[in-house]
Amino acid sequence: MQDLNFRESWATRIGFILAASGSAVGLGNIWRFPYMTGEHGGAAFLVIYLVAIILIGYPVMINEVILGRKTNKNPVGAFKALAPNTPWWLVGALGVFTGFVILSYYSVVAGWSLAYIYKVVLSATAAEIDHAEVFVGHITSVWEPIIWQAIFMILTVSIIAAGVVKGIQKWVTILMPAILVLLVILIIRAVTLPGAGEGLAYYLQPNFGDVGPRTFLGAISQAFFTLSLGMGAIITYGSYLREKDEIPGNSASVVGLDTGIAIMAGLAIFPAVFALGFSPDGGPGLVFITLPAVFAEMPLGVLFGLLFFILLSIAALTSAISLLEVVTAWLIDEKGWTRGSAAVTMGIIIFVVGLPTTLGYSVLSDVTFPGLGMDMLDTYDWFANSIFLPLGGLLTAIFVGYIWGARNAVQEGNKNAGLISLGNWWVLLIRYVVPALILVIMIMGIYDTFFGG
């Protein structure tokens, strides 16, 4: 058992910003954001998404960082410390559980991205190839996706077991700049393709004529998902902040970097998709089916395909380590486990829990959740994104706004604050705007799933 009085901290301010940004930057930015934008009309979706980031994402990010730094504890411990002898610790437990569930299927999709590092070479060098057939063949085989899922979890566990500074901070300071460099290279290649202007117009010139309720729902949900809010990761990372570290400015840096990378991902994808005559509304298959076809027709397509899927894998890894850190920190803080034992044990359990989502396209392809009619991976994802994440964010906002007290949070958040300080604007958002919008998201999402057309 380790010394419970010892708790690691980020060695530098940039260490926290890169780690928290790495948590936020992941498949949500590089995989989910482009296909959501493509499905919901391009630039209009982007504008609504940016508004949602400001009204929901940023205040909730500050909220969760405050809870972490104030208590220096994992999500369960944070609520226990601020509301002892009450059931509010269950909100923290929901965060730990949500991170657990998300990583169980997140690692499956991340495994696909690892596999595509070499598959894109095969597809780009083949004379004729059906890219949809390649993707379906991969996910419907039994052992191949399991092996790649296992490889990805081994990488994630190895980084978490090494610790906050030597593991998480060390690797995010390498991986996050790598993401930015790779994105810049891909953007330059995409926007210089003949015919790229049509893709840029689709992505940057809003047309609100086709905007409907689902556009708002998709944009707000994406803003919530991409920042890793409601899953315990930001509370956990905030718990490693020191008293001298400011919160509003650091949170703004995290939100800005995450949003910037999502926008850059769109700039890397849509000009290339339009330039080569493909449809932007490819859904979840945009990255794994449409883009390999794009790379196959692009000059130096093998190189840029390799770079893209390396980028996707790195982004997935930076998010996965934050998700595993949530449950690892819970075992360390609440149960007194050593970091190595906690990381390995939870990594194995999460891998096993995620197996049904891997097998949901092969031996469990006929299994669906009653009432949803979805495959296993989509079922895990629906519960996480439509129920667990918004519920966690809603209850956390209510807790800070009304139970612990928004004024207490403002006082904590303004310690050593720089250019940005918290005031009535933040209290208004966290007490009224955020809970109302999140509640609307949940109701609309559940209604759309069961009663929508």
Q: What is the pLDDT of residue 63?
A: 94
pLDDT at site 312: 83
- pLDDT score at 190: 85
Report how far residue 276's alpha carbon sits from residue 383's, in angstroms, rounded to the nearest whole number: 36
- The CATH number of the structural domain formed by 13-451 is 1.20.1740.10
Identify the CA nearest to 30 among candidates 183, 132, 151, 159. Answer: 183
25: left (phi over 0), alpha (psi -120 to 50) or beta: beta
SS (H, E, C) the chain: CCCCCCCCCCCCHHHHHHHHHHHHCCHHHHHHHHHHHHHCCCHHHHHHHHHHHHHHHHHHHHHHHHHHHHHCCCHHHHHHHHCCCCCCHHHHHHHHHHHHHHHHHHHHHHHHHHHHHHHHHHHHHCCCCCHHHHHHHHHHCCHHHHHHHHHHHHHHHHHHHCCHHHHHHHHHHHHHHHHHHHHHHHHHHHHCCCCHHHHHHHHHCCCHHHCCHHHHHHHHHHHHHHCCCCCCHHHHHHCCCCCCCCCHHHHHHHHHHHHHHHHHHHHHHHHHHHHCCCCCCCCCHHHHHHHHHHHHHCCCHHHHHHHHHHHHHHHHHHHHHHHHHHHHHHHHHHHCCCHHHHHHHHHHHHHHHHHHHHHCCCCCCCCCCCCCCCCHHHHHHHHHHHHHHHHHHHHHHHHHHHHHHHHHHHHHHCCCCCCCCCCHHHHHHHHHHHHHHHHHHHHHHHHHHHHCC
Task: Identify residue 252 by its one-letter amino acid code.
Answer: A
User: For position 125, what pLDDT does the model report?
Assistant: 62
Q: Which residues contact 445 (CB under 8 A, 6 or more apart)?
A: 217, 221, 385, 386, 390
Task: Average pLDDT across each block of 10 residues of the chain; the chain has 453 residues. List them in order.
Answer: 53 68 72 83 89 90 93 92 95 92 92 87 66 86 95 92 71 76 86 88 85 77 79 85 86 88 88 82 74 77 83 84 87 89 95 94 86 84 84 92 94 86 93 90 79 66
Write down the pLDDT at residue 4.
Answer: 44
**Predicted model pTM:** 0.86
